[in-house]
Structures are given as structure tokens and as C-alpha cells.
Copies of this chain bind each other. A is one copy, B any other.
Amino acid sequence: MAYTYEHPHPAVSVDIVVFTIAEGELKVLLIRRDAAPFEGSWALPGGFVEMNESLRRAAWRELREETGLNAAYLEQLQAFGHPDRDPRERVITVAYVALIPYERFDVQAASDARDARLFNLETLPELAFDHPRILRRACQRLKEKLSDPIIALQLVGKSFTLSELQRVHELILGKPLDKRNFRKKILAEGLIEATGDERRSGPHRPARLYTVKDPSDVPYAPVIKRA
């Protein structure tokens, strides 16, 4: 089937920068391309927008199809449209940032679809297209938005220690934070509370567990309306 237009139309795709915290590091999800161009190299998950779906929904669908992941937090980053960013034809892509806590990171489903892997930001492979640029912007945006407390909460599990949460902030900012000041600020926000349980993880005093007070503040389920 062929589609004909009076004027030339670019193709429109979405690409998703998926961040998660694994092995105590901030990681990004990449998939290995199984077709030209850039066959065999790594790329952000993504694909073409279908004609009857919104951009956001396309991002959500592509992420699910390519990796099996269900993104609760999915925010538009920006559109990238340099004329030669794809060697095949003119492709304008709308980039999204997704945040997924590692405990909801179903690697089974991810590896099922394609060769998908989490990469440390310091040891990235060669990336296809202008994906290095998109990824840099995504990291920048993540930093800028960190003042919104729900960002970091999206990257920890349902219950977490304050040290874990602090580590998330430190990884995103790329610098260490003071423990007492961090706790003072986070607790002053009033979004989280101690569960009463503790986590023990070594030859030292156990850490108190915290959780989000009002789950509607930090949705863990995707908020996507049916098309």
C-alpha cells in the first residue's frame, strides 16, 4: 500500500530515553538495531508514530513493544528535526524521557523483544543517528527537573531508605550531597513518611524505610487514555 501527498511529508518518530537506577548507578536503556541504517549499533528505543495515536501514546507504545516496559513517568523532551539526522529520509523525532524504578524493570520482557541493555552513562557504546545529542539533552533536563521531588521518587522502589533516595539525587547531579541537609529538605517537602519497617543490609545499623504518603502524587501506573 502506498500513500501519496501533494507536498513532501517527513516521517515522524518518537524516541524514548529510559532512565533507571541499577547496581547503584544511573543507567539508560538502549537497544541494538537489527536493521539498516546503523545496523548492529545501539540506539534509543523508538519508532514511527502511527496516524491515529498521539505522540505521547506513540512513545508509550513503542517502549512497550520494543522493551516490554510500562512507563509511569513519561515526559516530552523536545523535537529534533535536523534535515540529515536520518540517512534514509527526512525523519523528525519527538524525544521523551521515561523514569522507571528498577523494581518495575522487567528485564525478561525487555530482552524478549530485542537485544536491550542498560548502560552506564560514562561507558556508552557508539550510538545511532543523533541519539548522543538527544541523550545529552535528556540528562540535562533530568538535572533541571530534579528540584521537583517526584523525579527522584520515580526512580526508587515502593519503599526506600533515605540513603537510597539521596544516592539518586547524587547520581543525577553528579556531586555528593550532605546527609543531614538532604534529609532536612526532603522531609520538609512532606511527601514521604516512614513505614516503620527497617532494611538491614550489612554489618551496621539498619535503615528506616520510607514510602510516598499519597500515591496519587507519584503515579506508579501509566496514565494513558485509550485512543
C-alpha gap A7/B5 in the complex (Å): 11
Among A79-87, A177-185, A202-210, the stretch in contact with B = A79-87
A121 within 8 A of B: no
Secondary structure call for the A interface: loop
Q: How many residues of A contact B (CB 8 A)?
A: 30
A4 within 8 A of B: yes
* B81, A54: Cβ atoms closer than 8 Å: yes
Contact with B along A40-71 (1 / 0, CB 8 A): 00000000110111110000000000000000
Contact A52 B6, CB 8 Å, known A76-B78, A78-B76? no
Q: How many copies of this chain are found per oligomer?
A: 2
* B83, A12: Cβ atoms closer than 8 Å: no
A11 within 8 A of B: yes
C-alpha gap A127/B49 in the complex (Å): 27
* B2, A4: Cβ atoms closer than 8 Å: yes
* B83, A53: Cβ atoms closer than 8 Å: yes
* B9, A5: Cβ atoms closer than 8 Å: yes
Nearest CB in chain B: distance from A150 CB, A? 17
* A6, B2: Cβ atoms closer than 8 Å: yes
Chain B residues lying within 8 Å of A8, measured Cβ to Cβ, are: 3, 51
Nearest CB in chain B: distance from A143 CB, A? 15
Cβ-closest chain B residue relative to A92: B12
C-alpha gap A15/B227 in the complex (Å): 25
* B81, A10: Cβ atoms closer than 8 Å: no
* B5, A55: Cβ atoms closer than 8 Å: no
Cβ-closest chain B residue relative to A94: B79
Chain B residues lying within 8 Å of A12, measured Cβ to Cβ, are: 9-10, 12, 81, 92
Sample (14) of A-B pairs whose CB atoms are under 8 Å apart: A2-B4, A2-B5, A3-B7, A5-B9, A5-B11, A7-B11, A7-B48, A9-B9, A12-B92, A49-B92, A51-B90, A52-B83, A54-B83, A81-B94
